[in-house]
Chain A
């Protein structure tokens, strides 16, 4: 069974700082990995979907990397802003599939003005 861990559980940084969020998973036979953002009381917003054949995926100030062999993905946020404050979750498919995914508990990010 796929297990997903996100460290740290919470992070507080000053505005403008570059930061890295981590996601680790136990089974590396995955097709893709997706990062989401969740604002308090809201649904999940997809940020990036990275395929197993890709090493990186970028969208604006966000960059996600995937290292299947080590069972890790990172989400890099450049020049953080207060509007980036939210919980960030990674979603990793079950072994050999791509539809049934396991979510990490998330990293709660606070960017201080």
Chain B
């Protein structure tokens, strides 16, 4: 298995632009998580899905952030409009919705908003 695949690896954009981050979970995993990592706050859970349905989006910082999972093999995290304080590394992780399984993380997308 290729693991959790995220794209792009790096994204540099200007303030006010729309940014879309993409994630392909491991085939067969039915839970998907979006995390954000910064030096100040560490890893923060933004939202997670079970069976393509959003379960908890309480970590989404503001209405500028939205996430979708149209099918079991694809998810997007969108920021519109982007701001410099959104600069961070965004990770996607997938798992089976069972207490016997842990997370598998993707390599992340490093977002810089200038």
> Which residues of A pack against B, CB within 8 Å?
31-32, 34, 36, 41-46, 49, 51, 89, 91, 98-101, 103-106
Contacts and interface: CB of A to CB of B under 8 A. Distances in A.
A51 B48 contact: no
B25 to A, nearest CB: 14
Contacts, number: 50
A46 B3 CA distance: 12
A89 B108 contact: no
Contacts of A46: 102-105
Interface stretch (B12-20, B69-77, B80-88, B93-101): B93-101
A44 B105 contact: yes
A99 B35 CA distance: 13
A93 B45 CA distance: 12
B42 A103 contact: yes
A99 B95 contact: yes
B43 interface: yes
23 contacts: A32-B102, A34-B102, A34-B103, A36-B105, A41-B110, A43-B105, A43-B107, A43-B108, A44-B91, A46-B102, A46-B103, A46-B104, A49-B101, A51-B99, A91-B102, A91-B103, A98-B99, A99-B50, A99-B97, A100-B48, A103-B43, A104-B42, A105-B42
